[in-house]
A = this chain, B = another copy of it.
Amino acid sequence: MRTSAKRKPRGTTDGGQGKRAGQGADRRAQILVAALDEFSLHGFEATRLDDVAKRAHVAKGTIYLYFKDKESLFQELLRAQIGPVIGMLEAVLAGGTKEKKPVPLRELAHRVADLFVEQVIGTRRKDIVRLILTEGPRFPKLAEFYYREVISRGLSAFRARAKRAVNEGELKSDTLVRFPHLIVAPALVSIIWKSMFDKFEPLDVKALMKAQIDILFDKEERP
């Protein structure tokens, strides 16, 4: 329905020869970038492949050379971004086990929070997460994939680590074992807040994340 902006015509038609949009470069990547822009702006349904093509400086038909259809483009876009996230996540959580001196869970939590602020909130990745949140329910396959590859893995990794922290006395209760969600909660709130209410009242995401972690661990760490 396109509540806002009208379509703005592409300024220059690129001449016809010249730098033909990426030339030999990865057209696929170009299209994905453009698709992220448009999907973020309008959501899945309201995004027009025409606009994606325009933004990618590519003909409409070209998209179909690389993607089966609109839905494939959308799903591949999201899936493509999930890989790095998983990698980062596992790296950090594993990090705690490889170092000689074991890193306390609290320290790990702070690292994850920093990572989140820098690598998600501060980048286009927050839009990916938002898209998963908003369009996910309409794409059961996507939700399932996301659950399997990210959520369940992240949760169990964190749970395992939290269990150790309980055993080692870093945590007094098993709250975080039962509800690792509590670590993620402020992150979610941040993403949603940014996209809807930040213009009315800006939110200091870093401080919010820090506050939650401090609360979570201050409570637990008391003697």
Contact = CB atoms under 8 A, between A and B. Distances in A.
B138 A196 contact: no
Given A2-B42, A133-B134, A140-B4, A179 B196 contact: no
Contact of A215 (B43, B140, B175, B200): B175
Given A2-B42, A42-B2, A46-B138, A189 B185 contact: yes
A182 interface: yes
Interface in A196-223: 196-197, 200-201, 203, 207-208, 211-212, 214-216, 218-219, 222
Copies in the assembly, this chain: 4
A111 interface: no
Interface of A: 1-4, 6, 42-46, 69-71, 130, 133-141, 143-144, 146-147, 151-152, 175, 178-179, 181-182, 184-186, 188-189, 192-193, 195-197, 200-201, 203, 207-208, 211-212, 214-216, 218-219, 222
